[in-house]
Structure 1
């Protein structure tokens, strides 16, 4: 797959993800959540940044209920992300991309309050590099000094865990990758 460009690979993998039957998608998502819950990096974190599933990304909603953790979700503001506390029952909106976002009036989280970032990804590779959607929102955020020391976990399904991705100079590897069947701690 390395001979494909990022846009080609992105199209192929999103198409594959969206072709999952709803039942299989939900089952894989729930398995991924159970897998993630087992790892110390997740267990020890008190404040976690997550995302609302879009275009059949793994659904992490199983993690949000019955928990003592504080959850943060992104809002797209121009070319960056702001993070707001959100829990089931709180208000959310749909942004211009069709993605759910927490209401702007919910409390905002600062980098120093965050223990872990669950990063939505189209694909990840064995070195921790991530293929995103091409907007650069996470790349820009994770390159900032106040964010780049917070542990990151790429969230993908098994088929999107690849041996190698095409990378650019600005790409930063994630610390770990979680799929429905495995957890890869890449902090070696």
Structure 2
């Protein structure tokens, strides 16, 4: 099966998930992540805003905001095909942006990837599929691969957050694809 065929198959399966299953699986997956020391010890965390029935991240967001740690959310820029990271201090700073994704409002501070203060410790990465060795299949736009290839991410931990059915035996990879250090589903957090 080609990447495009697998992407289409899994996106259709995800889109057809029952709302109650999405809610229950999202809670379990987030709890699995929050129980791990990597979550408890990370000071600068990057989390995605879910779309198209991706696992929700609301518990993670609220936990970061309550703890006072730094939360960074992506903001897509279609004009240059890049993704900016933006400091977000609470739900009140979110609005619908590109692709209907909740993003930090325009007044929120955009991170300078070259700033020495920017040192992400944990990146929660969405995907259409992941394989048993941490390879990722995204939507095909390359936003995450371009962002994660920057030097500031060399010491960050990448955790793919997905439903268990999105974990496949093997994916075809390209040289620019970034590998996850762990996968977190409604069943477990698995270090690779």
TM-score, length-scaled by structure 2: 0.89
* 1:70 alignment partner in structure 2: 70
* 2:33 alignment partner in structure 1: 36
* 1:120 alignment partner in structure 2: 126
* 2:91 alignment partner in structure 1: 89
CA RMSD of aligned residues (A): 1.5
* 2:8 alignment partner in structure 1: 11
Ranges in structure 2 where 5+ consecutive residues have no aligned partner: none
Question: Which segments of structure 1 move beyond 3 Å, counting only runs of 4 or more?
Answer: none
Contact 1:73-1:86 within 8 A present in 2 as well = yes
- Going by fraction, where is helix more abundant, 1 or 2? 2
Please list, as runs of the form range in 1=range in 2, the aligned pairs for 1:37-186 lying within 5 A after superposition. 37-66=34-63, 67-68=66-67, 69-77=69-77, 78-111=80-113, 112-186=118-192
Aligned counterparts of 1:143 and 1:119: Cα–Cα separation in 2: 13
Change (3 A) 1:72 1:161: same
Aligned counterparts of 2:93 and 2:119: Cα–Cα separation in 1: 22
Contact 1:118-1:154 within 8 A present in 2 as well = yes
TM-score, length-scaled by structure 1: 0.91
Contact 1:121-1:132 within 8 A present in 2 as well = yes
